[in-house]
Amino acid sequence: MPDHVPAYPYSEASSPDQAPKTHELLKPVLWLLGTWRGRGRGTYPTLADDFTYAQEVTFSHDGRPFLRYEAKAWLIDGQDGPLRPAARESGWWRVQPEGRVEALITQPTGIVEVMVGDVGEGLAELASHTVALTPTAKDVTATRRRYTLTEGATLDFVHDLAAVGQPLQHHLGARLGRVA
Ligand code: HEM
């Protein structure tokens, strides 16, 4: 039996009011902290039909200059009833001076988006620097993400995708509201 080790002693915060104190470099991304949930629509020229989905997204931090990112999506019917689980992803947003961001986002479909971009008050824009794929993943060559905080305090999300021989174009658009 290994010696007893006390539980991980550091906390994770999803609001600027919670401990630990936010790192100075996180100032431009504080508006993203928390859990957001809402509905979106998805499309792609290779798909027979557009689809409607729900998504829950959480940004948190542990006092260091990066955000932990986690998102779960599920397809829904016209009454918000769940049809089936869809994309899941998790990753890290490494915040650099002057609001520059380097993000790593991984998906269980074998895709890793390594992204670079900028974040300012109410706007974050990231574009893929590299996309890494496992041997059996779909052929994704580029992605782009934009998060906009609207005056109504919703988080609008747009995801563009270049994949399976198609040029970079719209895949997803969603409007999320803060739930925590
Ligand atoms: C909210 C997140 C997302 C949702 C709800 C979603 C949903 C879907 C759906 C429903 C399809 C049709 C195939 C299927 O039924 O599974 C699809 C296809 C696809 N998605 Fe997404 N997706 C999401 C995020 C992403 C991301 C982040 C990427 C890549 C970085 C991506 C890349 C693709 C690719 C490559 C295809 C296959 C296209 C083809 O083979 O014709 N998706 N997506």
- The span from the CA of 135 to the CA of 80, in Å, is 35
Q: What is the pTM of this model?
A: 0.96
Residue with tokens 């479909």: 109
- The span from the CA of 178 to the CA of 139, in Å, is 33
The beta-carbon contacts of 106-111 under 8 Å, at least 24 apart in sequence, are: 109/137, 109/138, 110/134, 110/135, 110/136, 110/137, 110/138, 111/137, 111/138, 111/140
pLDDT digits (tens, 9 = 90+) for 21-73: 999 999 999 999 999 999 999 999 999 999 999 999 999 999 999 999 999 99
Nearest to 64 by CA among 9, 12, 100, 8: 12
Res. 1: pLDDT tops 80: no
3-state secondary structure of 9: coil
User: Tokens standing for 56?
Assistant: 């829950």
Please, what's the b/e burial string for 136-145 (b: 16 or more CB within 10 A of its CB; e: otherwise)? eeeebebbbb
User: Tokens standing for 106?
Assistant: 């991984």
Mean pLDDT of the chain: 97
| Ligand 1 pocket member 128 (CB < 6 A) | no
Domains of the chain by residue range: 24-178
ipTM summary value: 0.97
Spacing of C-alpha 168 from chain mean position: 18
Q: Ligand 1: distance of its center to the CA of 78 in Å?
A: 20
pLDDT at position 116: 98
pLDDT at position 166: 98
Q: Which one of 41, 161, 166, 170 would you pick to mutate in the ligand 1 pocket, going by the greatest count of ligand atoms within 8 A of its CB?
A: 161
What confidence category does residue 3 fall into, taking pLDDT thresholds of 50, 70 and 90? confident
Q: What separation, in Å, do the N-terminal and C-terminal C-alpha atoms of the chain show?
A: 40
Q: Ligand 1: distance of its center to the CA of 10 in Å?
A: 35
Q: Which atom of ligand 1 is nearest to the CA of 159?
A: 27
Q: Write the CATH number of the domain with boundaries 24-178.
A: 2.40.128.20
- The span from the CA of 120 to the CA of 123, in Å, is 5
pLDDT digits (tens, 9 = 90+) for 5-20: 999 999 999 998 999 9
pLDDT at position 154: 95
pLDDT digits (tens, 9 = 90+) for 151-174: 888 999 999 999 999 999 999 999
pLDDT at position 20: 96
- The span from the CA of 102 to the CA of 67, in Å, is 11
pLDDT digits (tens, 9 = 90+) for 115-164: 999 999 899 999 999 999 999 999 999 999 999 999 888 999 999 999 99
